[in-house]
Amino acid sequence: MSHTATLTEKDTLAFHLEKNIDVLARKCYQCGKCSAGCPVAGEMDFSPSMVMRLLQTETPANDEKTLRSYSIWLCLTCEMCLCRCPMEIDIPSVMDFLRQKSLKEKKVNPKARRIIAFHKSFLNSIKYTGRLFELGLTLDYKRRSLTLMQDVALAPRMISRGKLHFIPEIIKGRPQVAKIFKKTSKKEN
Ligand code: SF4
Ligand code: SF4
């Protein structure tokens, strides 16, 4: 029996990683270099090398732990782990894939809700104006994350220093940006 056939039967996260982003979790030999260089490993519930280990075990319980972990939402996609990995394992892409799957299967770690609210507000700002509109981002994020009054005292100072504008600047290439969003959302569905 071919290796691919065996993986298909298992239908594990490791199988989906291999199939969708061509990353082989089993190549990781747990040297720990990725975790040692990761700037947010200290805040994670599972360090990058631990995430790889969970994936390697290919058990439903560990797949579940991985999808419900906080780590996948903390990853900054800085690529430090990828630069350091002797096996060139693309952990940033793994984290990205796991985030999508976690969202799709409604397994998002409760601690990650504000991070997701920020992602959505940031992307909305780019989608509608073609660039970041800070005031729009802030208001949308506060609405989504239910943090309306948090840091509100900073607003007057930021406005007086020209950091928050009331009118968004709309770039010329906005239709092209809209097309990218349309294409991406089609792919996701
Ligand atoms: S650096 Fe690469 S091989 Fe080492 S633990 Fe991390 S993913 Fe595994
Ligand atoms: S890409 Fe993510 S996991 Fe890798 S070092 Fe950066 S923050 Fe850590």
Give 147-167 as a DSSP string.
Answer: -TTTTGGGHHHHHHTTSS-SS
Query: Average pLDDT in the 68-85 region?
Result: 97
The Cα 84–Cα 38 span in angstroms is: 10
Average per-residue pLDDT for the chain: 88
pLDDT at 189: 55
Q: Residues with Cβ within 6 A of ligand 2? A: 37-40, 48, 75-81, 91-92, 95
Q: Are 56 and 14 in contact (CB under 8 A)?
A: yes
pTM of the model: 0.80
Q: Are 97 and 79 in contact (CB under 8 A)?
A: no
The Cα 19–Cα 100 span in angstroms is: 15
Hey, which of 109-113, 119-123, 137-141 has the most confident mean pLDDT? Answer: 109-113
Q: Closest residue (by CA) to atom 8 of ligand 1?
A: 28
- Higher-confidence position of 37 and 164: 37
The Cα 87–Cα 144 span in angstroms is: 40
Distances, alpha carbon 110 to alpha carbons 63, 68, 120, 159, in Å = 17, 9, 16, 33
- Report the percentage of the chain scoring pLDDT > 70: 93
**Confidence bin at 7 (pLDDT 50/70/90):** very low
Structure-block tokens of residue 17: 């990683």
Q: Closest residue (by CA) to atom 6 of ligand 2?
A: 78
Cβ neighbours of residue 174 closer than 8 Å, sequence gap 6 or more: 129, 130
For the ranges 12-16, 64-68, 134-138, the lowest mean pLDDT is seen at: 134-138
Q: Is any atom of ligand 1 closer than 6 Å to the C-beta of 34?
A: yes
Show the CA angle centred on residue 39, arms to residues 34 and 45, nearest 5°: 75
Q: Are 31 and 89 in contact (CB under 8 A)?
A: no
Give the domains, in start order, of the chain with CATH numbers: 3-108 (1.10.1060), 112-188 (no CATH)
Q: Is any atom of ligand 1 closer than 6 Å to the C-beta of 82?
A: no
Q: Is any atom of ligand 1 closer than 6 Å to the C-beta of 89?
A: yes
